[in-house]
Amino acid sequence: MSGEEANGFQGVVAIHEHLVRTPDADAMSDALHPGWLDPPERWTPTFEPIALYQAVDSAELGLAGTESFHDIADDALDRAVLRVVDGEGPVHFRALADRLLTAADVGRLGSRIRARIESHLEGLEEGGRLERRDDFIGRWQQFLVPPFRDWGEAPEKTRQLDHVHDSELMLCLFRAVLEEEGIDADTAMNNGLYRIGFTRLTDNARERLEAPLQRLIDEAMLTKRGESITLGPEAFVRRSGPRPA
C-alpha cells in the first residue's frame, strides 16, 4: 500500500471513529443502513436464547365489572384482544378466548360470545392491526419472525401442540438442526419438540411437524440429503422488502 493510499485509509478510519464516538442523535438507523428497518419478506429464523412462554395475566385486561360479556365496551374488548396478541401471539383462538373469558369471569364460550369475539377479530384485521391465519391470531411480524419459547410453563389448557403455530414449529426444527447438523428428520423433530417443552414425539406430533419441516426444505433454510438434514443456503440470508399482502 502506497503512502497516499495509507493516508486515505487512515482518514476513512478516523471518520468512522469520529462517527462512532459522536453519533448524530437525530439520525435513524434506517438512514445509516438503508433497508435495515424494512420488514422481512418471508419467514426468518431468530437466534436469541429460548424464553419461557409468558401468558398474559387476565386480571390486567380490564374486562371485569360487567354483568355480561356482551356488556363489555367495544374499545375495551379490542384493547384486551390486542394485549393478548402482543403478549402471546401467534396465539390460538382457544387460548385467546380463554384469557378473555377468564378476565370477564365467564365460564363458558357460548356461540354468542364466540360470535362477538370473531366479529372483533374481523374488524381488527380489516384495520390492519392483526392477522388471522386459520385458528391463529397475531401481528404479521409474529408470523414472519416467530418467538422461540418454552411452552413447558404455559397454562395447562394452552400447553398443546395444536396451539403452536407452524412458524414456531419451523423455528424449533431449524434450531435443532443448527445445534446438530446431519441429524435425521425424527431426531430433528424430537430434539426440536423437547427444546420447546414437549417431551414425546408421538405419531400425531410427527404428522404435525411434517409440513413445517418440508417448508424449511422448500425455502432452502434446510437441505436434506438422504436421511441427513443440514442447514441450507438460505439459512442466514435476511431478505427485506415491503410488507407481504
Instruction: Kindly state the percentage of the chain with pLDDT values over 70.
Output: 81
Q: Do residues 152 and 43 both lie within one domain?
A: yes
Q: How many CA atoms lie within 13 A of 46 on its CB side?
A: 16
Whole-angstrom Cα distance, residue 48 to residue 139? Answer: 19
* Average pLDDT score over residue span 152-170: 96
* CATH code of 83's domain: 1.10.10
Pick the last residue of a domain from 106, 140, 174.
140
2-6, 44-48, 64-68, 146-150: segment of lowest average pLDDT: 2-6
Pick the last residue of a domain from 140, 160, 188.
140
- How many other C-beta atoms are found inside a 10 Å radius of the C-beta of residue 176? 23
Q: Do residues 168 and 106 both lie within one domain?
A: no
- How many other C-beta atoms are found inside a 10 Å radius of the C-beta of residue 199? 8
Task: For residue 185, give the C-alpha cell.
Answer: 428428520
Q: Is residue 217 part of a domain?
A: yes
Q: Is residue 24 part of a domain?
A: no
Q: Which pLDDT tens digit goes with each residue over 11-60?
A: 655 564 554 445 454 554 445 445 544 556 789 999 999 999 999 999 99
Q: Is residue 23 part of a domain?
A: no
pLDDT score, position 7: 57
Q: Do residues 39 and 114 both lie within one domain?
A: no
pLDDT at 103 over 50: yes
pLDDT at 108 over 70: yes
- For residue 208, how far is the Cα from the chain centroid? 18
For residue 236, the one-letter residue type is F
Q: Check: pTM over 0.85? Answer yes or no.
A: no
Question: In angstroms, what CA-CA distances link 47 with 142, 146, 183?
Answer: 15, 11, 19
Q: Do residues 126 and 209 both lie within one domain?
A: no
Structural domain harbouring 65 = 55-140
Greater confidence (245 vs 221) lies with: 221
Written as one string, the DSSP assignment of 74-143 is: HHHHHHHHHHHHHHH-SEEHHHHHHHHHHHTT-----HHHHHHHHHHHHHHHHTTS-EEETTEEE-HHHH
* Average pLDDT score over residue span 65-70: 91
- For residue 128, how far is the Cα from the chain centroid? 17
Residue 173 confidence class, pLDDT cut points 50, 70, 90: very high
Question: In angstroms, what CA-CA distances link 53 with 88, 102, 135, 140, 151?
Answer: 8, 18, 19, 19, 5
- How many other C-beta atoms are found inside a 10 Å radius of the C-beta of residue 214? 14
Q: Do residues 168 and 240 both lie within one domain?
A: yes
Q: Is residue 162 part of a domain?
A: yes
What H or E segment, with its residue span, contains residue 149? strand 149-150
Q: Do residues 40 and 161 both lie within one domain?
A: yes
pLDDT at 245 over 70: no
pLDDT score, position 119: 98
Q: Do residues 169 and 119 both lie within one domain?
A: no
pLDDT score, position 36: 45
Q: Do residues 104 and 67 both lie within one domain?
A: yes
Instruction: Kindly state the percentage of the chain with pLDDT values over 90.
Output: 76
Q: Is residue 28 part of a domain?
A: no
Q: Do residues 242 and 170 both lie within one domain?
A: yes
pLDDT at 242 over 50: yes
Give rounded-to-5 percent helix, strand, coil for the chain: 50, 10, 40
pLDDT at 98 over 80: yes
Q: Do residues 121 and 168 both lie within one domain?
A: no
